[in-house]
């Protein structure tokens, strides 16, 4: 039976409807709910909504919450498709939580990177058809979440004074995207655009992102979620085994490679981040983010 999950609480769809609970409304969510999951009882589409104010940055707990939510949805065999969305106006996901990288505890840093790798396995390798509803900024690891989905719908930039942006901006910060994320970029937008984007740390406005194939569609802000859910219905109707086998044609070798090198990748990350130079960069970047506010 389909269930609607609001954080750790489980509600049967029928029960939720009897209670008059809109499965698309999270108004009764608690602040601690980092991720909210709902399942539409009519269409069978699951929606995982990132809900970590102010910017959905990926802390250890946020990564773990996303993985738990994906696994919960995947454990329900009736469900074939999933929308990944944000509850925050203007931000899909700001990427890794930079405070996790700043003067880190080694054990927590190891767990943190492991949990970020795990999202890659769970989302990029999901048996579900996955649609990203990108109604706001998606830099760096935020872009990775979108790249891990099968289809990306972004808010249009037309008429906006401050359009949302998406891309891998790591080099601008003086750091380097991990190779598996770099390859996701190359596989999605092609070698040349990825080289330009990675080298220059480009964050693309929506129309440019569409032009280079980084996103698949642009729609007005108020339509992003509903359009993503409609697209998820379409993908959910494709025979599941054939759809998954096709996805794995493109992704299995990448997933297998990280699985085989996961520990080395984590060791490298840890030594990279704990290096004095990287710490100076991270420190400066954190200061620039808070100065921007003041
Ligand atoms: C050779 C192989 C090498 C392998 C090496 C591996 C090493 C890889 C290491 C790292 C990989 C990193 C990938 C990443 O994801 S790095 C994170 C990149 N993210 C960003 O650069 C985004 C930064 N944020 C922004 O640009 C904006 O916040 C934005 C998302 C556009 C939203 O803007 P706005 O709505 O105006 O919000 P504010 O800027 O005012 O931010 C509100 C508060 O949130 C804090 N914040 C923002 N982003 C982050 C973040 N990523 N982590 C932690 N905190 C963040 C910001 O400081 C404000 O806080 P406060 O209110 O307390 O001032």
Name the residue of 202, 289, 291 to mutate for ligand 1: max ligand atoms within 8 A of Cβ: 289
- The confidence score (pLDDT) of residue 31 equals 47
Report pTM.
0.91
**Please, which pLDDT band fits residue 32 given cuts at 50, 70 and 90?**
low
- Give the atom of ligand 1 at the shortest distance from the alpha carbon of 55: 44
Ligand 1 centre and the CA of 108: distance in Å?
Answer: 19
Predicted confidence (pLDDT) at residue 1 exceeds the cutoff of 60: no
Angle between helical axes of 106-119 and 60-74 (0-180°, round to 10): 30
| pLDDT tens, position by position, 184-218 | 999 999 999 999 999 999 999 999 999 999 999 99
Q: How many domains does the chain have?
A: 1
Average of per-residue pLDDT across 115-119: 98
- Six-digit token string for 81: 């498709």
Indicate if ligand 1 lies below 6 Å from the C-beta of 180.
no
- The confidence score (pLDDT) of residue 7 equals 34
| pLDDT tens, position by position, 36-74 | 999 999 999 999 999 999 999 999 999 999 999 999 999
Contacts of 95 (CB under 8 A, 6+ apart): 57, 58, 139, 140, 141, 142, 143, 144
Range of the domain at 134: 3-293
- Six-digit token string for 21: 């609970």
What is the ipTM score, two decimals?
A: 0.95
Neighbours of 29 (CB within 10 A): 16
Higher pLDDT, 264 or 11: 264
| pLDDT tens, position by position, 233-292 | 999 999 999 999 999 999 999 999 999 999 999 999 999 999 999 999 999 999 999 877
Indicate if ligand 1 lies below 6 Å from the C-beta of 97.
yes
DSSP 37-93: EEE-TTT-EEEEEE--TTT--B-HHHHHHHHHHHHHHHT-TT--EEEEEESSTEES-
Backbone angles phi, psi at 33, to 5 degrees: -75, 95
Cα–Cα distance, 76 to 193 (Å, whole number): 38
Cα–Cα distance, 228 to 40 (Å, whole number): 13
What is the number of alpha carbons within 13 Å of residue 68 lying toward its C-beta? 16
The enclosing domain of 263 has a CATH number of 3.90.226.10
- The confidence score (pLDDT) of residue 13 equals 32
- The confidence score (pLDDT) of residue 4 equals 40
Residue having the nearest C-alpha atom to atom 29 of ligand 1: 94
Average of per-residue pLDDT across 218-239: 98
- The confidence score (pLDDT) of residue 290 equals 85
Residue having the nearest C-alpha atom to atom 39 of ligand 1: 289
**Please, which pLDDT band fits residue 294 given cuts at 50, 70 and 90?**
low
Predicted confidence (pLDDT) at residue 26 exceeds the cutoff of 90: no
Ligand 1 centre and the CA of 57: distance in Å?
Answer: 7
- Give the atom of ligand 1 at the shortest distance from the alpha carbon of 141: 15
- Give the atom of ligand 1 at the shortest distance from the alpha carbon of 289: 57
Name the residue of 50, 52, 54 to mutate for ligand 1: max ligand atoms within 8 A of Cβ: 54
């Amino acid at each position: 039976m389909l269930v609607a999950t609001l954080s750790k609480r489980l509600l049967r769809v029928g029960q939720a409807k009897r209670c008059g609970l809109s499965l698309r409304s999270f108004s009764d969510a608690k602040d601690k709910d980092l991720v909210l999951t709902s399942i539409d009882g009519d269409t069978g589409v699951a929606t995982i909504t990132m809900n970590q104010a102010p910017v959905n940055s990926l802390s250890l707990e946020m990564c773990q919450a996303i993985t738990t939510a994906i696994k919960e949805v995947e454990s329900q065999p009736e469900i074939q498709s999933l929308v990944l969305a944000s509850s925050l106006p203007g931000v899909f996901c700001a990427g890794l939580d930079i405070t996790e990288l700043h003067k880190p505890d080694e054990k927590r840093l190891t767990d943190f990177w492991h949990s970020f790798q795990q999202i890659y396995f769970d989302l990029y390798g999901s048996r579900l058809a996955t649609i990203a509803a990108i109604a706001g900024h998606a830099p760096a690891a935020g872009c990775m979440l979108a790249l891990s989905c099968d289809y990306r719908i972004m808010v249009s930039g037309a008429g906006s004074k401050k359009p949302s942006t998406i891309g891998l901006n790591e080099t601008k910060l003086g750091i380097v995207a991990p190779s598996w994320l770099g390859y996701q970029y190359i596989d999605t937008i092609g070698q040349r655009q990825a080289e330009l984007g990675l080298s220059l740390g480009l964050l693309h406005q929506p129309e440019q992102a569409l032009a280079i194939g980084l996103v698949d569609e642009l729609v007005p802000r108020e339509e992003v979620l509903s359009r993503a859910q409609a697209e998820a219905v379409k993908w959910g109707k494709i025979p599941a085994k054939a759809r998954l086998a096709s996805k794995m044609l493109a992704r299995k070798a990448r997933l297998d490679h990280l699985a085989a090198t996961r520990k080395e990748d984590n060791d490298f990350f840890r030594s990279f981040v704990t290096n004095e130079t990287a710490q100076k960069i991270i420190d400066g970047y954190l200061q620039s983010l808070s100065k921007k506010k003041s």
